[in-house]
C-alpha cells in the first residue's frame, strides 16, 4: 500500500489503483486490521482527489465487496 499511496501522491492514478487492487486481492484472506486500515486510508484519499474518476468508483465497489464491514457507501467512489 505504500507504493500505491506513493503513486497516488505522484499523480499516477492508474498505477495507484492497480497496486491498491492487487493488495486488496492478496490481503483479503488475511483479514488484517492494518491492511484494512491502509486500504480505507487509500480509498479516502482517492475519493477526495479523484471523486469522478471511474477507477475510484471501481476500487470502492471492490473494497465493499471484499470488506463489507468497511462501511463504504454504495453509489459513491
The reported pTM is 0.84
Percent of the chain at pLDDT > 70 equals: 88
Q: What is the predicted pLDDT for the residue at 18?
A: 96
Percent of the chain at pLDDT > 90 equals: 56
The size of the chain, in residues, is: 77
Of the candidates 40, 44, 50, the residue with the CA atom closest to the CA atom of residue 12: 50
Question: What is the grid cell recorded at 23?
Answer: 493488495
- C-alpha distances in angstroms, 14 versus 3, 20, 34? 12, 10, 23
pLDDT confidence bin for 4, thresholds 50/70/90: very high
Q: SS3 for 31?
A: coil
- Residue 74: is its pLDDT beyond 70? no
Q: CB–CB of 46/57 below 8 Å?
A: no
Amino acid at each position: 500500500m505504500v507504493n500505491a499511496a506513493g503513486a497516488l501522491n505522484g499523480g499516477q492514478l492508474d498505477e495507484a489503483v492497480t497496486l491498491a487492487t492487487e493488495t486488496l486481492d492478496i490481503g483479503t484472506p488475511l483479514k488484517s486490521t492494518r491492511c484494512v486500515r491502509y486500504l480505507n486510508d487509500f480509498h479516502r484519499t482517492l475519493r477526495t482527489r479523484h471523486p469522478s474518476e471511474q477507477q475510484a468508483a471501481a476500487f470502492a465497489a471492490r473494497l465493499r465487496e471484499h470488506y463489507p464491514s468497511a462501511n463504504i457507501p454504495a453509489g459513491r467512489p
